[in-house]
Amino acid sequence: MFDDDPEGIHPLFNGAPKSTEFKKLRKRIVQQVREAIDQYGMIEPGARWLVCLSGGKDSYTLLAILYELKWRGLLPVDLLACNLDQGQPGFPATVLPEFLTQMGVPHRIEYQDTYSIVMDKVPTGRTYCALCSRLRRGNLYRVAREEGCSAVVLGHHRDDILETFFMNLFHGGRLATMPPKLLNEEGDLFVYRPLAHVAETDCEKFARAMAYPIIPCDLCGSQDGLQRQQVKAILDGWEKNSPGRRGIMFRALMNARPSHLLDPQLFDFAGLVRATRIQEDSSDIPDLR
């Protein structure tokens, strides 16, 4: 699958490192993305996906791996890359369109000044993430409908999913996280997260090895003390003390046992009944004389 034939590779992989380490990384990510796509039933006949790009390491990895699968005939859907320019001061607006044009990737750059709305509505000292995410999602849904797409595809990875789970646990009082496949409230669009099984460190290694032009998020990334950063620090500590802990916790999200939790909406605790011990007929008792 990973030969050296220049005609058998998408431009997004031009210049890929030849090292064994990178080839193993690339193969692992491709396998994990294929696994998520198959396991959660993301492929529909004739589908068109809006692949959302922020310019970060995760979205570059997402785009490259999806095109790798499509190039190899393993992803029979149309892909349209999309970046939502939210009007942040200093945002390098030419980086993504130039990159996508050079790579031959069909794309749409959508400008919506949600930055000014967030700065106006969010009180000083409060985090921007909730409102920013809501505005971004609404615009992406609109673009998906305008482009005839059936799914909005996001670059959230395994660690994002774990962090969201613990944020809900610690701060929201519920067991929930980002699902790999979601139907929006209107019921007309799917939201997919094909990187659901991929570790953040792998995304970072991959994007940096490919030298993709990474754009940092200066809006939320500039705020200190965010709940997500606190949770991430906790998970980093656990992983440092017990390597592999993140993988174990992620597998737990795929192995829920409602009967061993406390939600009566998921399991009928009130309806549990004991088995009645039936007295054996004396004729069924063997004669031991």
Q: Is residue 267 part of a domain?
A: no
Q: Is residue 252 part of a domain?
A: yes
Q: Report the alpha-carbon distance of residue 200 to residue 208 in Å, rounded.
A: 12
Q: How many domains does the chain have?
A: 1
- Residues 6+ positions from 167 with CB-CB distance below 8 Å: 227, 228, 231
26 compared with 286, residue with greater pLDDT: 26
Q: Report the alpha-carbon distance of residue 162 to residue 191 in Å, rounded.
A: 18
Domain that holds residue 11: 6-257
Q: Is residue 14 part of a domain?
A: yes
Is 219's pLDDT higher than 70? no
117 compared with 15, residue with greater pLDDT: 15
Show contacts of 140-144: CB within 8 Å, 24+ apart. Answer: 140/50, 140/52, 140/82, 140/84, 141/184, 141/186, 141/189, 143/50, 143/82, 143/84, 143/108, 143/110, 144/50, 144/189
Q: Report the alpha-carbon distance of residue 179 to residue 155 in Å, rounded.
A: 12
Q: Is residue 268 part of a domain?
A: no
CATH no. for residue 184? 3.40.50.620
Show contacts of 168-174: CB within 8 Å, 24+ apart. Answer: 170/227, 170/231, 171/227
Beta-bridge partners for 182: 191
Q: Is residue 264 part of a domain?
A: no
Q: Is residue 241 part of a domain?
A: yes
pLDDT tens sequence across 50-105: 999 999 999 999 999 999 999 889 999 999 999 988 777 888 889 999 999 999 99
Q: Report the alpha-carbon distance of residue 272 to residue 35 in Å, rounded.
A: 36
Q: Report the alpha-carbon distance of residue 259 to residue 206 in Å, rounded.
A: 40
In this structure, how many other beta carbons lie within 10 angstroms of the beta carbon of residue 148? 10
Beta-bridge partners for 152: 50, 191
Closest CA to 218 of 63, 52, 68, 92: 92
Distance of CA 139 to CAs 1, 116, 132, 178, 284, Å? 37, 15, 11, 19, 73
pLDDT tens sequence across 102-124: 999 999 999 887 777 777 667 66
Q: Is residue 206 part of a domain?
A: yes
Q: Is residue 279 part of a domain?
A: no
45 compared with 182, residue with greater pLDDT: 182
225 compared with 75, residue with greater pLDDT: 75
